[in-house]
A = this chain, B = another copy of it.
Amino acid sequence: MTGPLAAPAPPPAGPVARPSGRAAGQMREVRIERGYTRHAEGSVLVSFGQTRVLCTASVDNKVPAFLRGKGEGWVTAEYGMLPRATHTRSDREAARGKQGGRTLEIQRLIGRALRACIDRKALGERTITLDCDVLQADGGTRTAAITGAYVALVDAVRWLQARREINRDPIFGAVAAVSVGVYRGVPVLDLDYAEDSDCDTDMNVVMNDGGGFIELQGTAEGHAFRREELDGLLALAEAGIAELIAKQREALAG
C-alpha cells in the first residue's frame, strides 16, 4: 500500500454512461494486500476501488457445540462497518446493543461462501473466524469481503501447515464474489455506491475457480428483471470472478 486509504480515484478511462466512467464490464481497481496487520494468522486489506475491507483470519482450537467430538472444523465470519466508513455516520452497532439485519445477513453469506472451499474434516477440530471490517465503503463491501477473506483463510491454513498442525491441505479451489446490476437499462459489473443507489437490479454472485456458482442473490429494486437480463448479468459476473481469482492467485504467490 503506497498511500492512505483515501487516495483519489483514478481518472475515468473514457466518455461512458457509468458515473465512474468505467465500461460496462470493467471492474474497479482491485488490490489485495497480505500481512496488513500483524497479530492475525491471516490479515488482508482488500480494495475494490474506494471500498476497503480489512479481513483477518483467526485460528481457535475449539469448535462450536454442535460439532464437538466429530473430528470436523468450522469456518465462520463476522462483518462490521466502522461508523464513518460511509458518507454519513451510522450508529455503532456495539453501542446500539445489537447487530442489524443487514449485518447478520452479510456475515452469514460470507461464512457460507468460505465453507464452500474447505474440507472441514481435513481442517480438524478447530475454528477459523473471518472478521471482515469495512474501513471505507463505496459499494460492494460484501463481495470485496468474500474475495479478501478467501486470501486470509488461505494464509491461516498455510500457517497451520507450516506448524505441521494439519497434514492434508483442506483448501479446495478458490472462491470470489462480485456484484452486477442493471444500471439505467444496461447490465454492468462491480457496482460502486453511486450506481448501487440508483440501479434497477442488484445481484451478488459468488463463484469458485471451477466456474460453479456458490451463491446467487438478485434483487429487483425497481422493475422486475427478465430472463435475458439475468443471462447478461451472469455473463458479466463470470468474467469479473475470473479476474478476481487471478488477483487472489497473484497475491498468494507474492
Contacts and interface: CB of A to CB of B under 8 A. Distances in A.
Interface stretch (A65-73, A99-107, A184-192, A242-250): A99-107
A143 interface: no
A86 interface: yes
Interface residues on A, range: 35 or more
A213 B208 contact: no
Nearest to A112: B219
Contact of A226 (B5, B50, B213): B213
Contacts of A217: 216-218
Contacts of A86: 39
B219 A215 contact: yes
Given A36-B4, A37-B85, A214 B207 contact: no
A6 B82 contact: no
A212 interface: yes
